C-alpha cells in the first residue's frame, strides 16, 4: 500500500495560505482529518470554509506556549499522526546589515518553530501505529544564497534537526523528512519580488526572472508540486524513507 492509512489526523503549521494550504488540501483530499495552525485567523477560517482543512487554531509557532496549547487541543480532538512543520518567514539583507535581531527572528520562526511543533506532537505520536513528520525547509537549507544569510542558517538548522531526529526515531514507527522547495509561487516569494522591484527598479517580469533563473527549468515551483512530494512522504509506501532532505526545485540541487 502506498496511500495514507485510514483517516489519520494531520497537523499543518502555516496552513492558511501558500504551500501550507496546498499541503492541507492534498491531505484532506487523500482522506486525512486536517488541522491547520497559523497567525492569520481570517486566512485559516477561509481555508476551513473552502474545505482545505477541517479545523483551525490561531497560534504563532515562535510562541512555544501558544503553539503547544493549540497542538494539545488538536490532539485531544483526535490523536495526531502527521505533522507538517511548514510555517516560515524570510527576510533579506546583506550580512553586514543583518543584526542579531534579524537572526533571532529567522531562527525563532524557521527553526525553533519546528522544534516547538515536534516537541508538541512527539509524545502522543510515539504511541501511534504510524507517524510522519515532514519539515518544509528550503533549498536555502541545502546551499547558500546571497543576502539571506539568517534565513539560510535557520533552514540549514532545520535540515540538521531532521537528519538527527530521524536517526533517533529510526527504530520506531515514525519517519522524519524535509522537503526543500526552490523559489515557489507564494505570497512569501511575492514579497521577495516586490523587494527586488523596489531596490533595483526592475519590472515584475524581470524580478520573477531573477528568482526563476536559479531553477534549471526556468520557472517558479507551484505549491501543489511541493504538496505532492509531502503527500508521498506521508504515505505508507514511504516507510523506508527517513532523514532525507528532498529538493523540489527543478534540478537546482
Which distant-in-sequence residues (6+ apart) come within 8 Å of 86 by Cβ? 12, 13, 14, 15, 19, 20, 23, 136
Q: Which residues contact 180 (CB under 8 A, 6 or more apart)?
A: 137, 138, 139, 141, 142, 155, 159, 245, 246, 247, 248, 249, 253
Q: Are 144 and 98 in contact (CB under 8 A)?
A: no
**Are residues 58 and 39 in contact, defined by beta-carbon separation less than 8 angstroms?**
yes
Residues acting as catalytic residues: 151
E strands, 93-233, where? 131-136, 174-181
Amino acid at each position: 500500500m502506498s496511500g495514507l492509512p485510514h483517516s489519520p489526523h494531520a497537523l499543518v503549521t502555516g496552513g492558511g495560505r501558500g504551500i501550507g494550504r496546498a499541503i492541507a488540501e492534498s491531505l484532506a483530499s487523500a482522506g486525512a482529518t486536517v488541522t491547520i495552525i497559523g497567525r492569520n485567523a481570517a486566512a485559516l477560517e477561509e481555508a476551513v470554509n473552502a474545505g482545505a482543512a477541517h479545523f483551525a487554531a490561531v497560534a504563532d509557532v515562535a510562541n512555544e506556549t501558544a503553539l503547544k496549547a493549540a497542538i494539545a487541543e488538536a490532539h485531544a480532538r483526535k490523536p495526531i499522526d502527521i505533522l507538517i512543520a511548514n510555517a516560515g518567514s524570510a527576510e533579506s539583507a546583506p550580512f553586514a546589515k543583518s543584526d542579531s535581531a534579524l537572526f533571532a527572528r529567522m531562527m525563532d520562526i524557521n527553526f525553533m518553530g519546528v522544534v516547538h511543533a515536534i516537541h508538541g506532537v512527539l509524545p502522543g505520536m510515539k504511541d501511534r501505529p504510524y507517524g510522519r513528520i515532514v519539515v518544509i525547509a528550503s533549498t536555502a537549507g541545502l546551499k547558500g544564497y546571497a543576502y539571506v544569510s539568517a534565513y539560510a542558517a535557520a533552514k540549514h538548522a532545520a535540515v540538521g534537526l531532521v537528519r538527527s531526529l530521524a536517526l533517533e526515531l529510526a527504530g520506531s514507527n515514525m519517519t522524519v523528512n524535509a522537503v526543500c522547495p526552490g523559489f515557489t509561487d507564494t505570497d512569501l516569494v511575492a514579497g521577495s519580488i516586490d523587494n527586488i522591484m523596489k531596490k533595483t527598479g526592475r519590472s515584475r517580469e524581470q524580478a520573477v526572472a531573477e528568482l526563476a533563473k536559479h531553477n534549471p527549468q526556468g520557472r517558479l515551483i507551484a505549491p501543489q508540486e511541493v504538496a505532492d512530494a509531502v503527500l508521498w512522504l506521508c504515505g505508507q509506501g514511504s516507510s523506508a524513507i527517513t532523514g532525507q532532505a528532498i529538493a523540489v526545485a527543478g534540478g537546482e540541487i
